Structure 1
């Protein structure tokens, strides 16, 4: 249970000061009765604003089809970000909605967003080895020998001391490949190909764990159950 003003502010409805005005104006009810104390603690499911239940009080988990040109940072100086695709109220939530891992500005595809920090930590932890599948187009012909190299766990990236974990590589054409990773180093797919003399021209993430984008259009999102990634 949380104070009403804190609850409304944390869910992005308004500031705590504005929440007090909303309560004074009779816009908030608890258990069907008009609330008259902004400091009152209430169960989220008992609260209504303008007659409507609270917006996702338990948290958010979203699958987004990220287009090229958007960053995963909240810093305005880095340019337009993926959070601009979401309703304004969700962008004001506290804890803040953030990405589970990142896709750089020039990479498109499946991105997960949530305000559940334990889920972020679990799905990005190397020990859980959540597979991510990418489709890459490069500027040079790829040798079949790279399949064994990527899988060997010996590929060393420039500036790093530890080799990459074993990765799957499937050659689609001479210059197009599918890469499966279980870790998420900075610009990892691009740097893996760069280490072999090929520059990635386009990069798209197709899958994250059991999820794929399906027919979700670029720039759109789909809600997922918060327990989607729970163990059976």
Structure 2
């Protein structure tokens, strides 16, 4: 792939704009030597304005999404792409969220430009484990764990029972819930079905991958070891 196309696909600019960056000498190798559009050089040896090139196609990243952001490119308010370098929104293939967290749910969000991987994770057949921590408006009654684990719980407006879920009580009004499917607002609706209300909700793990101390609003690219953890959960 020609360097102009490679760099353009990473969102740094149109092909015309990237060609101009070459003419201006802004694109160099790791040693600081100016590169030309027809040079043959490895991805890791390309610098733009002295900074390493963004990861190539096949990128998977984890973001600790704060509340108040939506997983959309069309929302007029704050979107998760605002937390990333602006060019990430212009990448081709497109960088998409792996599933969604609603505006008022915080925590671990995966994003990738690998469509096959995205569908592998979110496929209902995958039964990918997702762990949430919830702060509730009312004290737990004590029978929620058995109900959630029963495999017979029905949500309002649906005709298929939920798969068994695991509830861990962390406090009178605090719980950790592990689910293996991803129905619309599932966690909030599960607690609502018990007569309770979720005041705050955060996702703390996907598969075997947790936040690992990642600060709210921060992100990092995943390496093969991280991906192994996702599918080991």
CA deviations over 1:47-101 (Å, ceiling 9, x no partner): 6656765321243222211111111111132x10111111122232112222111
Name the count of aligned residue pairs: 228
1:108-147 aligned within 5 A: 108-147=106-145
* Aligned residue in 2 for 1:165: 163
* CA distance in structure 2 between the partners assigned to 1:74 and 1:99 by the alignment: 10
Q: Does 2:75 correspond to 1:71?
A: no
* CA distance in structure 2 between the partners assigned to 1:82 and 1:131 by the alignment: 22
CA pair 48-134 structure 1, distance change in 2 beyond 3 A: closer
* Aligned residue in 1 for 2:89: 91
* CA distance in structure 2 between the partners assigned to 1:213 and 1:151 by the alignment: 25
What runs of 5+ residues in structure 2 fail to find an aligned partner? none
1:157 aligned counterpart, secondary structure:
coil
1:182-221 aligned within 5 A: 182-221=180-219
CA pair 173-47 structure 1, distance change in 2 beyond 3 A: closer
Q: Does 2:56 correspond to 1:57?
A: yes
* Aligned residue in 2 for 1:105: 103
CA pair 193-10 structure 1, distance change in 2 beyond 3 A: same
Contact 2:134–2:202 (8 Å) recurs in 1: yes
* CA distance in structure 1 between the partners assigned to 2:80 and 2:180 by the alignment: 23
Contact 2:134–2:198 (8 Å) recurs in 1: yes
TM-score, normalised to structure 2's length?
Answer: 0.85
Moved over 6 A (4+): 40-43
* CA distance in structure 2 between the partners assigned to 1:214 and 1:45 by the alignment: 26
* CA distance in structure 1 between the partners assigned to 2:51 and 2:146 by the alignment: 57
CA pair 89-159 structure 1, distance change in 2 beyond 3 A: same
CA pair 228-90 structure 1, distance change in 2 beyond 3 A: same
1:227: Cα distance to partner? 6.2
Identify which range, 161-170 or 12-21, moves more after superposition.
12-21
TM-score, normalised to structure 1's length?
Answer: 0.85
2:94 aligned counterpart, secondary structure:
coil
